[in-house]
């Protein structure tokens, strides 16, 4: 099996094999962006031609500007789901994340269960958490949640119910640290910082 | 009620005709002594023969991925060591490395070595638990006593440094916790490893190595255990890779893949160790690989103690941790397998999204094909050999 000089070389090679739109290799993570229509084809090429037999995980991100929980993105983003599939080889253990954008009004993407059978549970999880549909998955029922559960918890529009019922005891959810300790109180400053 | 003649008649009938054992659905769990937590198996059986198993999970789903979107980075560290409580300390490492990588922090070498020693001690504690619990499931109760005795010694060491046995919460972004407590008095006290820790570690590691031989004698010489594990639940390397089975379970199938050798999240490259690789991928190999890993971990800890560098324990970090925009996936070799965090930061105090990749989730997704065609007693033998924790499955 071929080894690469650097992570950039490997990123270039994988991107060419799977027919990527663009690719990045920042912070030690190779990310390869492909079109949704070519999702299964690209994942198959990653396994067979790019020689990445190890299936690590599959999940999604809800990209949205209006969030109910957490902080919104720093800059305005295009409203979409990003489906990611992480695979790796076993010679040098470099992970490759394949990524495809799925529009929110038509959240359908091909299932890759026929390529990596381990994607079964991961797709079921992504489907229940993000309201995604994996076309070709034989049994896309809920995995963690009960069958009568309403909503898709990992969507940014889904509020944390515990916070609705009982608000966070602080003034805000995530409080800033005080700039200086109160005068006479013992100091909790980190001496090394 | 049946009278004596009737019983005689029935037993005659049972001998004369072949027993009809039609399709029956057998529920194992959610509470069952052999499932290590709340896992339900719906097995379709014909007599003793199992021909379809569906694991039902989610009884422990705590939504850590959602919670991570409303918690600051330091708060998340105390959450994620509860994912897999048998090796809580090791869970924190990939998340910390991911955060530090996005922030561009350089962790001091001494802190990295302390992290490495504690991670390997967690591996010892997790594997020793398996060394004892697995034979117990197969009917041999003695190895448990030996294994837990050593596990206590290892956990005492962990507790001496961190103050906790299961959820140490000892890591900080940029290093390890530099003071034993907070407040003005503590500043004057020693801000490092407890006195005598390194010497005690060397002694305990020698004891662990000696006990690993005892356990091997007890188990490898037990014909009942050998008969129940050898050739049972064979997992082929191709299937293991396609399902994302990792860690000792993958290596037992003959795949030489250890992230301690391949990834660069802790200074493992400075240590000399070997990876244990099995041959057939049956239950026995999965037990044996973990036994060898105990020995290798003990040797690694001894080497790390000898090479322990001096220096600070904490990089310079601001008091309010703000992580710049960035995205990375860091994975580490947890005792159970590959544990990884895909952290997406959009700048600010809370991550935009954290995908948690836990080892046991993939490791038990192999169950339906692996258990098909086996016998009911083998379910326990195979399930136990996969060494999963339900908290790690459900997250």
pLDDT at B57: 87
Domain count for chain A: 1
Buried b (16+ CB within 10 A) or exposed e, B158-184: beebbeebbbbbbbbbbbbbbbeeeee
- Do B391 and B60 touch, CB atoms closer than 8 A? yes
Q: Is residue A192 part of a domain?
A: no
Confidence of residue A23 (pLDDT cuts 50, 70, 90): confident
Helices (H) and strands (E) in chain B — how many of each? 17, 8
**Shortest Cα–Cα distance, B371 to chain A (Å):** 15
pLDDT at B191: 57
Instruction: Tell me which chain B residues have a C-beta less than 8 angstroms from the C-beta of A3.
Output: none
Is A192 within 8 Å of B316 when comparing Cβ atoms?
yes
What DSSP character marks residue A187?
P
Q: How many domains does chain B have?
A: 1
Residue of B nearest to A162 (CA): B67
Using DSSP bridges, classify how beta strands A108-110 and A133-135 pair: parallel, antiparallel or unpaired.
parallel
Q: For residue A98, tell me if it sits in a domain.
A: yes
B18 located within any domain: no
Using a CB-CB cut-off of 8 Å, the residues of chain B touching A141 are none
Bridge partner list, B328: B343
DSSP-derived letter for residue B317 is: -
Does residue A191 belong to any structural domain of this protein?
Answer: no
- Whether A21 is covered by a domain: the verdict is yes
Phi, psi dihedrals of residue B181, rounded to the nearest 5°: -160, 180
A190/B69 touch (CB, cutoff 8 Å), yes or no: no
Cα B37 versus chain centre, distance:
14
For residue A154, give the CATH number of its domain: 3.30.460.80
What does each C-alpha distance from A146 to A141, A143, B56, B316 come to in angstroms? 10, 8, 11, 46
Residue B379 is part of which domain span? 53-394
Residue bearing tokens 């952290």: B343
Q: Which helix (H) or strand (E) holds B259?
A: helix B259-262
pLDDT at A19: 80
Which phi and psi angles does B160 have, rounded to 5°? -60, -35
Check residue B187 and give its pLDDT: 45
Strand partners for B117: none
Cβ–Cβ gap B314/A193 under 8 Å: yes
User: In a 10 Å sphere around its CB, with 0-12 CB exposed, 13-18 middle and 19+ buried, how is residue A185 labelled?
Assistant: exposed
Nearest residue to A28 (alpha-carbon basis) of A92, A103, A100, A121: A92
Give, rounded to a whole angstrom, the gap between the first and last alpha carbons of chain B: 51
> Would the CA dihedral through B351, B323, A80, A84 be positive or negative?
negative
Residues 6+ apart with CB under 8 A from A63: A73, A77, A78, A79, A80, A81, A82
User: Is residue A187 a part of any domain in this protein?
Assistant: no
* B-chain residues near A55 (CB < 8 A): 241-244, 362
| pLDDT tens profile A140-180 | 888 888 888 888 888 888 887 776 676 666 666 555 655 55
Give the residue among B95, B90, B167 at the shortest CA–CA distance from B333: B90
* Residue-number span of the structural domain to which A141 is assigned: 7-65+78-165
Q: Could you read off the pLDDT of A122-145 as tens digits, one per residue? A: 999 999 998 899 988 888 888 888
Instruction: Determine, yes or no, domain membership for A73.
Output: no
**Interface contact flag, B346 A72, Cβ < 8 Å:** yes
| Interface touch A84/B342, C-beta < 8 Å | yes
**Closest CA in chain B for residue A115:** B242
pLDDT in tens, A76-93: 888 889 999 999 988 887
| 8 Å CB contact between B101 and A27 | yes
pLDDT at A173 (0 to 100):
59
Q: What CATH number is given to the structural domain containing B330?
A: 1.10.645.10
Q: What's the pLDDT at B298?
A: 92
Nearest CA in chain A to B62: A144
Measure the CA–CA gap between A124 and B328, rounded to whole angstroms: 24
Measured between beta carbons, which residues in chain B are less than 8 angstroms from residue A73? 346, 352
- Exposure b/e, B270-291, CB count within 10 A at least 16 = b: ebebebbbbeebbbbbbbbbbb
| Positive/negative CA dihedral, B132, B136, B137, B138 | positive
Q: Partners of B326 in the beta sheet?
A: B345
β A95-103/A30-34 pair status: parallel
Q: Please say whether the beta carbons of B43 and B52 come within 8 A.
A: yes
Q: What is the mean pLDDT of chain A?
A: 82
B319 with A177: Cβ contact below 8 A: yes
Measured between beta carbons, which residues in chain A are less than 8 angstroms from residue B79? none
Residues of A with CB below 8 A from B182's CB? 188
Bridge partners (DSSP) listed for residue A30: A96
The pLDDT score that the predictor gives to residue A86 is 92
How many other C-beta atoms lie within 10 A of the C-beta of residue A171?
7
B 344-363 near A (Cβ less than 8 A): 344, 346-353, 355, 357, 361-362
Note the ipTM here: 0.82
Query: Does residue A53 belong to any structural domain of this protein?
Result: yes
**B183 contacts on A by Cβ (under 8 Å):** 186-188
**Whether B364 contacts B11, CB under 8 Å:** no
Record the pTM: 0.84
In eight-state DSSP terms, residue B124 is H
Judged by DSSP in three states, A140 sits in: coil
Nearest partner of A16 among A39, A37, A32, A38, judged by Cα? A32
Size of interface A-B (CB pairs under 8 A): 157
Give how far Cα A136 sits from Cα of A59, A102, A110, B73, B261, Å: 17, 16, 6, 38, 37
A172 located within any domain? no
Q: What's the pLDDT score for residue A59?
A: 92
Task: Please tell me the number of Cα atoms within 13 Å of B165 on its side-chain side.
Answer: 8
For chain A, counts of helices (H) and of strands (E): 4, 7
Q: Which residues of chain B have pLDDT under 50?
A: 181-190
């Amino acid at each position: 099996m071929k080894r690469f000089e650097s992570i950039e070389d490997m990123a270039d090679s994988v991107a060419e094999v799977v027919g990527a739109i663009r690719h990045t290799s920042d912070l030690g993570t190779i990310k390869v962006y492909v079109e949704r229509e070519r999702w299964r084809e690209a994942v198959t090429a990653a396994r067979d031609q790019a020689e990445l037999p190890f299936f690590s995980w599959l999940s999604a991100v809800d990209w949205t500007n209006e969030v109910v929980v957490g902080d919104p993105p720093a800059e305005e983003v295009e409203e979409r789901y990003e489906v990611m599939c992480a695979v790796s080889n076993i010679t040098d253990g470099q992970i490759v994340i394949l990524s495809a954008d799925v529009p929110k009004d038509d959240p359908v993407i091909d299932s890759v269960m026929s390529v990596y059978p381990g994607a079964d549970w991961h797709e079921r999880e992504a489907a229940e958490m993000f309201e995604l549909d994996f076309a070709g998955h034989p049994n896309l029922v809920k995995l963690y949640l009960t069958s009568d559960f309403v909503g898709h918890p990992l969507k940014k529009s889904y509020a944390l119910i515990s916070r609705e019922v009982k608000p966070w005891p602080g003034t805000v959810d995530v409080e800033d640290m005080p700039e200086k300790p109160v005068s006479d109180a013992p100091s909790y400053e980190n001496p090394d910082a | 009620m049946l009278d004596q003649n009737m019983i005689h008649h029935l037993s005659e009938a049972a001998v004369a005709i072949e027993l009809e054992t039609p399709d029956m659905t057998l529920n194992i769990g959610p509470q069952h002594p052999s499932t290590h937590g709340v896992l339900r198996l719906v097995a379709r059986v014909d007599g003793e023969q199992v021909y379809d198993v569906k694991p039902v999970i989610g009884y422990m789903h705590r939504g850590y991925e959602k919670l991570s979107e409303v918690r600051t980075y330091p708060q998340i560290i105390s959450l994620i060591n509860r994912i897999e409580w048998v090796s809580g300390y090791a869970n924190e490492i990939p998340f910390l490395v991911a955060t530090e990588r996005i922030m561009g922090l350089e962790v001091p070498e001494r802190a990295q070595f302390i992290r490495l020693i504690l991670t390997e001690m967690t591996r010892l504690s997790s594997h020793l638990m398996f060394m004892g619990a697995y034979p117990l499931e197969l009917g041999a109760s003695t190895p448990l006593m030996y294994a837990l005795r050593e596990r206590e010694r290892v956990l005492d060491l962990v507790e001496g440094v961190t103050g906790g046995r299961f959820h140490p919460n000892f890591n900080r972004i940029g290093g390890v916790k530099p003071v034993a407590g907070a407040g003005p008095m503590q500043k004057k006290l020693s801000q490092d490893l407890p006195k005598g820790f390194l010497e005690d570690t060397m002694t305990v590691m020698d004891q662990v190595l000696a006990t690993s031989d005892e356990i091997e004698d007890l188990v490898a010489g037990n014909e009942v255990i050998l008969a129940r594990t050898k050739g049972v639940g064979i997992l082929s390397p191709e299937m293991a890779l396609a399902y994302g089975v990792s860690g000792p379970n993958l290596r037992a199938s003959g795949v030489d893949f250890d992230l301690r050798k391949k990834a660069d999240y802790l200074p493992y490259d400075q240590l000399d160790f070997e990876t244990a690789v099995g041959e057939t991928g049956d239950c026995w190999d999965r037990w044996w690989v973990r036994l060898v890993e105990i020995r290798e971990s003990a040797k690694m800890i001894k080497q790390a103690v000898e090479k322990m560098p001096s220096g600070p324990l904490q990089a310079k970090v601001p008091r309010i941790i703000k992580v710049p925009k960035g995205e990375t996936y860091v994975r580490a070799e947890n005792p159970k397998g590959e544990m990884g965090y895909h952290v997406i930061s959009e700048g600010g105090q809370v991550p935009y999204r954290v995908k948690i990749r836990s080892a046991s989730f993939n490791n038990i997704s192999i169950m339906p094909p692996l258990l098909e065609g086996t016998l009911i007693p083998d379910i326990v033998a195979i399930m136990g050999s996969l060494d999963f924790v339900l908290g790690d499955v459900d997250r």
